[in-house]
Protein backbone atom coordinates (compact mmCIF):
# COMPACT_ATOMS: atom_id res chain seq x y z
CA UNK A 1 0.00 0.00 0.00
CA UNK A 2 0.99 3.52 -0.24
CA UNK A 3 3.07 5.24 2.30
CA UNK A 4 0.86 8.29 1.90
CA UNK A 5 -1.67 6.59 4.07
CA UNK A 6 -0.34 4.41 6.78
CA UNK A 7 -3.50 3.43 8.50
CA UNK A 8 -6.50 2.10 6.65
CA UNK A 9 -8.53 2.32 9.82
CA UNK A 10 -7.40 5.91 10.32
CA UNK A 11 -8.52 6.86 6.84
CA UNK A 12 -11.89 5.24 7.22
CA UNK A 13 -12.42 6.86 10.58
CA UNK A 14 -11.34 10.39 9.79
CA UNK A 15 -12.40 10.68 6.18
CA UNK A 16 -10.27 13.60 4.98
CA UNK A 17 -7.21 12.69 2.95
CA UNK A 18 -4.78 14.96 1.14
CA UNK A 19 -4.69 12.99 -2.08
CA UNK A 20 -2.02 11.21 -4.06
CA UNK A 21 0.70 12.44 -6.34
CA UNK A 22 1.08 11.07 -9.84
CA UNK A 23 2.86 7.72 -9.84
CA UNK A 24 5.50 6.46 -12.21
CA UNK A 25 5.10 2.78 -11.28
CA UNK A 26 2.10 0.48 -11.35
CA UNK A 27 0.96 -1.08 -8.10
CA UNK A 28 -1.47 -3.81 -9.10
CA UNK A 29 -3.56 -5.23 -6.27
CA UNK A 30 -5.61 -8.38 -6.71
CA UNK A 31 -8.79 -8.55 -4.63
CA UNK A 32 -10.29 -12.05 -4.09
CA UNK A 33 -14.06 -12.00 -3.74
CA UNK A 34 -14.00 -15.06 -1.45
CA UNK A 35 -12.11 -13.19 1.30
CA UNK A 36 -15.49 -11.95 2.54
CA UNK A 37 -16.26 -15.47 3.78
CA UNK A 38 -13.42 -15.44 6.30
CA UNK A 39 -14.60 -14.89 9.84
CA UNK A 40 -13.76 -12.36 12.51
CA UNK A 41 -10.73 -10.14 11.96
CA UNK A 42 -9.88 -12.01 8.77
CA UNK A 43 -13.01 -10.98 6.85
CA UNK A 44 -12.11 -8.70 3.96
CA UNK A 45 -14.62 -7.11 1.57
CA UNK A 46 -14.46 -4.43 -1.09
CA UNK A 47 -15.17 -1.90 1.65
CA UNK A 48 -11.78 -2.75 3.22
CA UNK A 49 -9.92 -1.64 0.10
CA UNK A 50 -8.23 1.72 0.36
CA UNK A 51 -8.60 3.07 -3.19
CA UNK A 52 -5.57 5.31 -2.78
CA UNK A 53 -3.16 2.45 -2.22
CA UNK A 54 -3.00 0.88 -5.67
CA UNK A 55 -2.93 2.11 -9.25
CA UNK A 56 -4.96 -0.91 -10.38
CA UNK A 57 -7.38 -3.09 -8.45
CA UNK A 58 -8.13 -6.40 -10.16
CA UNK A 59 -11.28 -8.10 -8.94
CA UNK A 60 -10.83 -11.89 -8.88
CA UNK A 61 -12.51 -13.77 -10.44
CA UNK A 62 -15.02 -14.04 -13.21
CA UNK A 63 -15.02 -17.46 -14.87
CA UNK A 64 -15.50 -19.07 -18.25
CA UNK A 65 -18.76 -20.86 -19.05
CA UNK A 66 -17.60 -24.16 -20.52
CA UNK A 67 -20.79 -24.63 -22.51
CA UNK A 68 -21.35 -21.22 -24.05
CA UNK A 69 -17.72 -19.98 -23.95
CA UNK A 70 -18.88 -16.70 -22.47
CA UNK A 71 -17.54 -14.90 -19.45
CA UNK A 72 -19.81 -15.30 -16.43
CA UNK A 73 -20.09 -14.24 -12.80
CA UNK A 74 -18.37 -16.52 -10.30
CA UNK A 75 -20.31 -15.65 -7.14
CA UNK A 76 -23.64 -13.99 -7.83
CA UNK A 77 -24.32 -13.33 -4.14
CA UNK A 78 -21.01 -11.61 -3.40
CA UNK A 79 -20.60 -9.92 -6.77
CA UNK A 80 -24.17 -8.81 -7.48
CA UNK A 81 -26.49 -9.25 -4.50
CA UNK A 82 -23.97 -7.65 -2.13
CA UNK A 83 -22.85 -5.23 -4.86
CA UNK A 84 -19.25 -6.40 -4.98
CA UNK A 85 -18.77 -5.28 -8.58
CA UNK A 86 -20.57 -1.98 -8.02
CA UNK A 87 -18.65 -1.18 -4.86
CA UNK A 88 -15.33 -2.00 -6.49
CA UNK A 89 -15.94 0.28 -9.45
CA UNK A 90 -17.22 2.99 -7.09
CA UNK A 91 -13.76 3.14 -5.51
CA UNK A 92 -12.85 5.39 -8.43
CA UNK A 93 -15.04 8.15 -7.01
CA UNK A 94 -12.51 8.41 -4.18
CA UNK A 95 -9.49 8.07 -6.45
CA UNK A 96 -10.25 9.07 -10.04
CA UNK A 97 -6.85 7.78 -11.18
CA UNK A 98 -7.60 4.23 -10.04
CA UNK A 99 -8.30 1.55 -12.65
CA UNK A 100 -10.59 -1.31 -11.65
CA UNK A 101 -10.40 -4.45 -13.77
CA UNK A 102 -11.97 -7.89 -13.72
CA UNK A 103 -9.82 -11.04 -13.79
CA UNK A 104 -10.91 -14.11 -15.73
CA UNK A 105 -9.97 -17.57 -14.57
CA UNK A 106 -7.54 -18.40 -11.80
CA UNK A 107 -6.10 -21.81 -10.93
CA UNK A 108 -9.36 -23.56 -10.03
CA UNK A 109 -11.31 -22.39 -13.07
CA UNK A 110 -8.40 -23.08 -15.39
CA UNK A 111 -7.97 -26.61 -14.05
CA UNK A 112 -11.53 -27.83 -13.52
CA UNK A 113 -10.93 -30.90 -15.69
CA UNK A 114 -13.02 -29.76 -18.65
CA UNK A 115 -10.28 -28.22 -20.80
CA UNK A 116 -12.69 -25.37 -21.51
CA UNK A 117 -10.03 -22.72 -22.08
CA UNK A 118 -8.27 -24.84 -24.68
CA UNK A 119 -11.63 -25.47 -26.34
CA UNK A 120 -12.55 -21.78 -26.26
CA UNK A 121 -9.40 -20.70 -28.07
CA UNK A 122 -9.50 -23.62 -30.52
CA UNK A 123 -11.88 -21.95 -32.95
CA UNK A 124 -12.51 -18.47 -34.28
CA UNK A 125 -16.22 -18.82 -33.56
CA UNK A 126 -15.63 -19.62 -29.89
CA UNK A 127 -13.13 -16.78 -29.54
CA UNK A 128 -15.56 -14.31 -31.11
CA UNK A 129 -18.33 -15.51 -28.78
CA UNK A 130 -16.10 -14.93 -25.77
CA UNK A 131 -14.88 -11.53 -26.97
CA UNK A 132 -18.43 -10.30 -27.57
CA UNK A 133 -19.43 -11.44 -24.09
CA UNK A 134 -16.36 -9.80 -22.53
CA UNK A 135 -17.11 -6.44 -24.09
CA UNK A 136 -20.71 -6.64 -22.91
CA UNK A 137 -19.55 -7.67 -19.43
CA UNK A 138 -17.20 -4.69 -19.12
CA UNK A 139 -19.87 -2.34 -20.39
CA UNK A 140 -22.54 -3.69 -18.04
CA UNK A 141 -20.44 -3.61 -14.88
CA UNK A 142 -18.27 -0.63 -15.84
CA UNK A 143 -14.88 -2.24 -15.37
CA UNK A 144 -11.84 -0.58 -16.95
CA UNK A 145 -10.48 -3.74 -18.49
CA UNK A 146 -9.88 -7.48 -18.42
CA UNK A 147 -7.04 -9.49 -16.89
CA UNK A 148 -6.57 -12.95 -18.41
CA UNK A 149 -5.59 -15.51 -15.79
CA UNK A 150 -5.56 -18.79 -17.69
CA UNK A 151 -3.22 -21.08 -15.75
CA UNK A 152 -1.78 -22.12 -18.18
CA UNK A 153 -1.84 -22.50 -21.96
CA UNK A 154 0.45 -25.50 -22.41
CA UNK A 155 0.30 -26.91 -25.93
CA UNK A 156 1.15 -25.61 -29.37
CA UNK A 157 -2.57 -25.28 -30.07
CA UNK A 158 -3.06 -23.38 -26.80
CA UNK A 159 -0.21 -21.04 -27.66
CA UNK A 160 -1.70 -20.19 -31.05
CA UNK A 161 -5.19 -19.96 -29.60
CA UNK A 162 -4.13 -17.65 -26.76
CA UNK A 163 -2.40 -15.42 -29.29
CA UNK A 164 -5.57 -15.29 -31.38
CA UNK A 165 -7.64 -14.52 -28.29
CA UNK A 166 -5.59 -11.53 -27.20
CA UNK A 167 -5.50 -10.14 -30.73
CA UNK A 168 -9.29 -10.40 -30.97
CA UNK A 169 -9.73 -8.82 -27.54
CA UNK A 170 -7.36 -5.96 -28.35
CA UNK A 171 -9.21 -5.23 -31.58
CA UNK A 172 -12.55 -5.25 -29.76
CA UNK A 173 -11.29 -3.13 -26.85
CA UNK A 174 -9.71 -0.34 -28.85
CA UNK A 175 -12.87 1.63 -29.45
CA UNK A 176 -13.68 1.84 -25.75
CA UNK A 177 -10.11 2.07 -24.47
CA UNK A 178 -10.41 -0.98 -22.23
CA UNK A 179 -7.22 -2.27 -20.64
CA UNK A 180 -6.03 -5.80 -21.42
CA UNK A 181 -3.51 -7.65 -19.26
CA UNK A 182 -2.55 -11.19 -18.34
CA UNK A 183 -1.32 -12.95 -15.22
CA UNK A 184 1.54 -15.11 -16.46
CA UNK A 185 3.80 -17.92 -15.36
CA UNK A 186 7.33 -17.47 -14.01
CA UNK A 187 8.45 -20.88 -15.33
CA UNK A 188 10.64 -20.97 -18.43
CA UNK A 189 9.00 -24.20 -19.57
CA UNK A 190 5.51 -22.72 -19.26
CA UNK A 191 6.55 -19.49 -20.97
CA UNK A 192 8.01 -21.38 -23.92
CA UNK A 193 5.05 -23.74 -24.16
CA UNK A 194 2.16 -21.33 -23.89
CA UNK A 195 3.03 -17.74 -24.71
CA UNK A 196 3.69 -15.94 -28.00
CA UNK A 197 5.61 -13.14 -26.31
CA UNK A 198 5.86 -10.92 -29.39
CA UNK A 199 2.09 -10.92 -29.81
CA UNK A 200 1.56 -10.37 -26.08
CA UNK A 201 3.85 -7.36 -26.20
CA UNK A 202 1.93 -5.95 -29.13
CA UNK A 203 -1.55 -6.51 -27.70
CA UNK A 204 -1.36 -6.40 -23.90
CA UNK A 205 -1.04 -3.27 -21.80
CA UNK A 206 1.02 -5.16 -19.23
CA UNK A 207 1.62 -8.57 -17.69
CA UNK A 208 1.42 -9.55 -14.02
CA UNK A 209 4.28 -11.95 -13.42
CA UNK A 210 3.44 -14.54 -10.76
CA UNK A 211 6.84 -14.70 -9.07
CA UNK A 212 5.71 -16.78 -6.12
CA UNK A 213 4.73 -20.39 -5.39
CA UNK A 214 8.11 -21.56 -6.69
CA UNK A 215 7.98 -24.00 -3.78
CA UNK A 216 5.06 -25.40 -1.80
CA UNK A 217 4.29 -28.30 0.49
CA UNK A 218 1.42 -29.37 -1.75
CA UNK A 219 3.88 -30.54 -4.42
CA UNK A 220 7.17 -30.61 -2.47
CA UNK A 221 6.09 -32.13 0.86
CA UNK A 222 9.54 -33.23 2.00
CA UNK A 223 11.46 -29.96 1.69
CA UNK A 224 10.62 -26.62 3.28
CA UNK A 225 11.87 -23.75 1.16
CA UNK A 226 11.00 -20.13 0.50
CA UNK A 227 8.29 -19.87 -2.13
CA UNK A 228 9.29 -16.49 -3.59
CA UNK A 229 13.08 -16.08 -3.81
CA UNK A 230 14.33 -12.90 -5.42
CA UNK A 231 17.71 -14.26 -6.48
CA UNK A 232 19.34 -17.61 -7.15
CA UNK A 233 21.08 -18.85 -4.04
CA UNK A 234 24.46 -20.51 -3.76
CA UNK A 235 24.24 -24.21 -4.51
CA UNK A 236 20.88 -24.07 -6.28
CA UNK A 237 20.57 -25.97 -9.53
CA UNK A 238 17.12 -24.71 -10.53
CA UNK A 239 16.00 -21.27 -11.71
CA UNK A 240 13.11 -20.88 -9.28
CA UNK A 241 13.52 -17.18 -8.51
CA UNK A 242 12.05 -13.83 -9.49
CA UNK A 243 15.21 -12.47 -11.11
CA UNK A 244 15.41 -15.38 -13.52
CA UNK A 245 11.73 -15.06 -14.46
CA UNK A 246 12.00 -11.32 -15.08
CA UNK A 247 15.18 -11.73 -17.11
CA UNK A 248 13.67 -14.58 -19.11
CA UNK A 249 10.56 -12.63 -20.05
CA UNK A 250 12.69 -9.66 -21.12
CA UNK A 251 14.93 -11.97 -23.13
CA UNK A 252 11.89 -13.37 -24.92
CA UNK A 253 10.91 -9.87 -26.02
CA UNK A 254 8.62 -8.46 -23.34
CA UNK A 255 9.68 -4.88 -22.55
CA UNK A 256 10.63 -4.36 -18.92
CA UNK A 257 8.14 -1.49 -18.75
CA UNK A 258 5.26 -3.90 -19.32
CA UNK A 259 6.24 -6.31 -16.52
CA UNK A 260 4.72 -6.02 -13.06
CA UNK A 261 6.67 -8.31 -10.74
CA UNK A 262 4.66 -10.25 -8.19
CA UNK A 263 5.26 -9.87 -4.46
CA UNK A 264 3.31 -12.25 -2.21
CA UNK A 265 1.45 -11.15 0.90
CA UNK A 266 1.39 -14.69 2.25
CA UNK A 267 3.73 -17.51 3.18
CA UNK A 268 3.91 -21.21 2.38
CA UNK A 269 4.36 -23.54 5.36
CA UNK A 270 5.59 -27.04 6.18
CA UNK A 271 5.95 -29.32 9.20
CA UNK A 272 9.65 -29.85 9.97
CA UNK A 273 11.07 -33.29 10.69
CA UNK A 274 14.43 -32.31 12.20
CA UNK A 275 16.18 -29.51 14.04
CA UNK A 276 17.38 -28.06 10.73
CA UNK A 277 15.52 -24.85 9.95
CA UNK A 278 17.69 -23.26 7.21
CA UNK A 279 16.08 -23.92 3.82
CA UNK A 280 15.94 -26.36 2.20
CA UNK A 281 14.91 -28.08 5.42
CA UNK A 282 13.60 -31.65 5.88
CA UNK A 283 9.81 -31.63 6.19
CA UNK A 284 6.76 -33.86 6.11
CA UNK A 285 3.96 -32.03 4.38
CA UNK A 286 1.86 -28.95 4.88
CA UNK A 287 1.89 -26.76 7.96
CA UNK A 288 -1.28 -26.25 9.96
CA UNK A 289 -3.95 -23.95 8.54
CA UNK A 290 -4.09 -20.38 9.79
CA UNK A 291 -6.94 -19.30 12.09
CA UNK A 292 -8.51 -17.07 9.44
CA UNK A 293 -7.37 -18.29 6.02
CA UNK A 294 -8.05 -21.92 7.03
CA UNK A 295 -5.83 -23.43 4.33
CA UNK A 296 -3.15 -25.95 5.27
CA UNK A 297 0.32 -24.99 4.04
CA UNK A 298 -0.67 -21.34 3.62
CA UNK A 299 -0.58 -18.36 6.00
CA UNK A 300 -1.54 -14.73 5.44
CA UNK A 301 1.08 -12.15 6.39
CA UNK A 302 -1.16 -10.99 9.22
CA UNK A 303 -1.32 -14.56 10.58
CA UNK A 304 2.46 -14.84 10.41
CA UNK A 305 3.26 -11.52 12.07
CA UNK A 306 0.70 -12.28 14.76
CA UNK A 307 2.34 -15.65 15.46
CA UNK A 308 5.71 -13.95 15.69
CA UNK A 309 4.37 -11.23 17.96
CA UNK A 310 2.22 -13.31 20.27
CA UNK A 311 3.14 -16.99 19.97
CA UNK A 312 6.93 -17.00 20.17
CA UNK A 313 7.75 -17.86 16.57
CA UNK A 314 11.45 -17.36 15.73
CA UNK A 315 12.22 -15.16 12.71
CA UNK A 316 15.36 -15.65 10.62
CA UNK A 317 16.42 -13.02 8.10
CA UNK A 318 18.59 -13.92 5.12
CA UNK A 319 21.57 -11.53 5.26
CA UNK A 320 22.01 -11.71 1.48
CA UNK A 321 18.33 -10.80 0.85
CA UNK A 322 18.14 -13.47 -1.84
CA UNK A 323 15.02 -14.61 -0.01
CA UNK A 324 12.68 -13.04 2.49
CA UNK A 325 12.53 -14.16 6.10
CA UNK A 326 11.27 -17.44 7.45
CA UNK A 327 9.67 -18.10 10.81
CA UNK A 328 9.59 -21.26 12.92
CA UNK A 329 7.07 -22.12 15.62
CA UNK A 330 8.09 -23.24 19.13
CA UNK A 331 5.77 -26.25 18.88
CA UNK A 332 6.61 -29.88 18.24
CA UNK A 333 6.65 -30.63 15.40
CA UNK A 334 7.73 -27.18 14.35
CA UNK A 335 5.89 -25.29 11.64
CA UNK A 336 8.15 -23.52 9.11
CA UNK A 337 6.91 -20.66 6.93
CA UNK A 338 8.71 -18.56 4.32
CA UNK A 339 7.27 -15.16 3.44
CA UNK A 340 8.03 -11.54 2.52
CA UNK A 341 7.92 -8.83 5.19
CA UNK A 342 8.07 -5.03 4.70
CA UNK A 343 11.87 -5.06 4.61
CA UNK A 344 11.93 -7.68 1.84
CA UNK A 345 9.18 -5.84 0.00
CA UNK A 346 11.49 -2.82 -0.11
CA UNK A 347 14.34 -4.96 -1.45
CA UNK A 348 12.10 -6.33 -4.20
CA UNK A 349 10.69 -2.89 -4.99
CA UNK A 350 14.20 -1.51 -5.37
CA UNK A 351 14.93 -4.41 -7.70
CA UNK A 352 11.84 -3.43 -9.73
CA UNK A 353 13.18 0.11 -10.03
CA UNK A 354 16.70 -1.06 -10.87
CA UNK A 355 15.41 -3.18 -13.75
CA UNK A 356 13.11 -0.48 -15.11
CA UNK A 357 10.05 -2.70 -14.67
CA UNK A 358 6.55 -1.35 -15.04
CA UNK A 359 5.77 -1.89 -11.38
CA UNK A 360 4.80 -4.40 -8.75
CA UNK A 361 1.84 -6.69 -8.26
CA UNK A 362 0.56 -8.22 -5.04
CA UNK A 363 -1.39 -11.40 -4.46
CA UNK A 364 -3.44 -10.59 -2.63
CA UNK A 365 -4.56 -7.38 -0.94
CA UNK A 366 -6.64 -9.18 1.71
CA UNK A 367 -3.57 -10.92 3.19
CA UNK A 368 -1.56 -7.91 4.35
CA UNK A 369 -1.98 -6.80 7.98
CA UNK A 370 -4.94 -4.61 7.05
CA UNK A 371 -6.25 -4.47 10.62
CA UNK A 372 -2.87 -3.42 12.10
CA UNK A 373 -3.00 -6.39 14.44
CA UNK A 374 0.79 -6.46 14.68
CA UNK A 375 1.30 -2.78 15.48
CA UNK A 376 3.39 -1.77 12.46
CA UNK A 377 0.58 0.22 10.84
CA UNK A 378 -2.16 -1.01 8.55
CA UNK A 379 -0.99 -2.77 5.40
CA UNK A 380 2.73 -2.55 6.19
CA UNK A 381 3.93 -4.66 3.27
CA UNK A 382 2.04 -2.73 0.59
CA UNK A 383 3.01 0.49 2.33
CA UNK A 384 6.66 -0.46 1.89
CA UNK A 385 6.10 -1.27 -1.78
CA UNK A 386 4.28 1.98 -2.41
CA UNK A 387 6.78 4.18 -0.67
CA UNK A 388 9.67 2.64 -2.59
CA UNK A 389 8.09 2.53 -6.04
CA UNK A 390 6.64 6.03 -5.87
CA UNK A 391 9.44 7.88 -4.11
CA UNK A 392 12.34 5.46 -3.93
CA UNK A 393 12.66 6.76 -0.38
CA UNK A 394 12.20 3.75 1.87
CA UNK A 395 15.46 2.43 3.27
CA UNK A 396 16.23 -0.37 5.68
CA UNK A 397 17.91 1.05 8.77
CA UNK A 398 20.21 -1.13 10.83
CA UNK A 399 19.56 -0.59 14.51
CA UNK A 400 21.29 -1.85 17.63
CA UNK A 401 20.94 -1.15 21.31
CA UNK A 402 24.58 -0.14 21.66
CA UNK A 403 25.18 3.59 21.57
CA UNK A 404 28.67 3.09 20.21
CA UNK A 405 27.50 1.18 17.17
CA UNK A 406 24.07 2.73 16.63
CA UNK A 407 23.67 3.99 13.06
CA UNK A 408 20.16 5.39 13.35
CA UNK A 409 17.11 5.32 15.61
CA UNK A 410 16.42 2.48 17.98
CA UNK A 411 12.80 1.39 17.64
CA UNK A 412 10.91 2.62 20.73
CA UNK A 413 9.11 -0.71 20.63
CA UNK A 414 9.56 -3.71 18.30
CA UNK A 415 6.52 -2.88 16.18
CA UNK A 416 4.80 0.34 15.21
CA UNK A 417 5.06 3.64 13.34
CA UNK A 418 7.20 6.41 14.83
CA UNK A 419 8.10 9.97 13.79
CA UNK A 420 11.57 10.84 12.60
CA UNK A 421 12.99 13.27 15.18
CA UNK A 422 14.91 15.03 12.43
CA UNK A 423 12.09 15.52 9.93
CA UNK A 424 8.38 16.29 9.99
CA UNK A 425 7.75 14.44 6.73
CA UNK A 426 9.72 11.26 7.49
CA UNK A 427 8.82 8.42 9.81
CA UNK A 428 9.93 4.92 10.74
CA UNK A 429 8.03 1.65 10.44
CA UNK A 430 9.37 -0.82 13.00
CA UNK A 431 8.73 -4.51 12.48
CA UNK A 432 10.31 -7.01 14.88
CA UNK A 433 12.81 -4.33 15.87
CA UNK A 434 13.86 -3.54 12.28
CA UNK A 435 13.33 0.10 11.37
CA UNK A 436 12.33 1.07 7.85
CA UNK A 437 12.67 4.75 7.04
CA UNK A 438 9.81 6.16 4.98
CA UNK A 439 8.77 9.54 3.67
CA UNK A 440 5.40 11.15 3.19
CA UNK A 441 4.36 12.56 -0.17
CA UNK A 442 5.31 16.05 -1.19
CA UNK A 443 3.88 18.67 1.16
CA UNK A 444 2.66 16.20 3.79
CA UNK A 445 3.73 15.58 7.39
CA UNK A 446 3.61 12.37 9.40
CA UNK A 447 0.82 12.56 11.96
CA UNK A 448 1.94 10.43 14.96
CA UNK A 449 -1.51 10.56 16.51
CA UNK A 450 -3.43 9.16 13.53
CA UNK A 451 -0.47 7.25 12.05
CA UNK A 452 -1.07 8.77 8.61
CA UNK A 453 0.55 11.32 6.35
CA UNK A 454 -1.49 14.46 6.81
CA UNK A 455 -1.71 18.15 6.01
CA UNK A 456 0.89 20.18 7.97
CA UNK A 457 -1.89 22.21 9.61
CA UNK A 458 -3.10 19.05 11.33
CA UNK A 459 0.31 18.11 12.71
CA UNK A 460 2.18 19.68 15.62
CA UNK A 461 5.75 19.70 14.34
CA UNK A 462 8.29 22.49 14.57
CA UNK A 463 11.01 20.85 12.49
CA UNK A 464 11.12 21.88 8.85
CA UNK A 465 10.29 18.93 6.63
Name residue 454's beta-bridge partners: 445
The reply to whether 236 belongs to the active site is no
Of 151, 220, 236, 303, catalytic: 151
Instruction: Please choose, from the candidates 305, 267, 269, the residue with its C-alpha nearest in 3D space to the C-alpha of residue 285.
Output: 269
Q: What is d(CA 408, CA 40) in angstroms, rounded to the nearest whole number?
A: 38
SS3 content of the chain, % helix, strand, coil (to 5): 30, 25, 45
Secondary structure class of 145 (helix, strand, coil): strand
Phi, psi of 113, deg, nearest 5: 90, -5
Kind and range of the H or E element at 430? strand 426-431
Is residue 147 within 8 Å of 102, Cβ to Cβ? yes
> 161: which DSSP letter?
H
Give the whole-angstrom CA distance, residue 302 versus residue 305.
Answer: 5
d(Cα 248, Cα 269) in Å, to the nearest integer? Answer: 28
For residue 98, the 8-state DSSP code is: -
CB-CB contact of 157 with 190 (8 Å)? no
10 Å Cβ neighbour count for 122?
17
Other beta carbons within 10 angstroms of residue 287's beta carbon come to 24
Q: What is the dihedral of CA 364, 262, 1, 387, to 10 degrees?
A: 170
Which phi and psi angles does 394 have, rounded to 5°? -80, 130
Residues 350, 359: Cα–Cα separation, whole Å:
10
Please tell me the distance from the alpha carbon of residue 58 to that of residue 72, in angstroms, as a whole number: 16
Which residues 6+ apart lie within 8 Å of 257 measured at CB? 356, 357, 358
Active site residues: 151
Amino acid sequence: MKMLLLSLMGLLAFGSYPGIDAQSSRIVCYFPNWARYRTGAGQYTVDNINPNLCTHVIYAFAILDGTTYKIKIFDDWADISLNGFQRAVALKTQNPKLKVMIALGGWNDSNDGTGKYSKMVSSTANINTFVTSAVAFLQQFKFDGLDLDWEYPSTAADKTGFKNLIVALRNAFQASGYLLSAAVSASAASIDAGYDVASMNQNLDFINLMTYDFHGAGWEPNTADHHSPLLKRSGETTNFNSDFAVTYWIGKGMPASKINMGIPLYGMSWKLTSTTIAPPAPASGVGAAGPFTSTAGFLAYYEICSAVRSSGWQVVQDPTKAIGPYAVSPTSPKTWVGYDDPAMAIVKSKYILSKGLGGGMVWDISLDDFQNTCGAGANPVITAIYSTLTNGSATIITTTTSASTQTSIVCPSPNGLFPDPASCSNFYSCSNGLAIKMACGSGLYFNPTLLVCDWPANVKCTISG
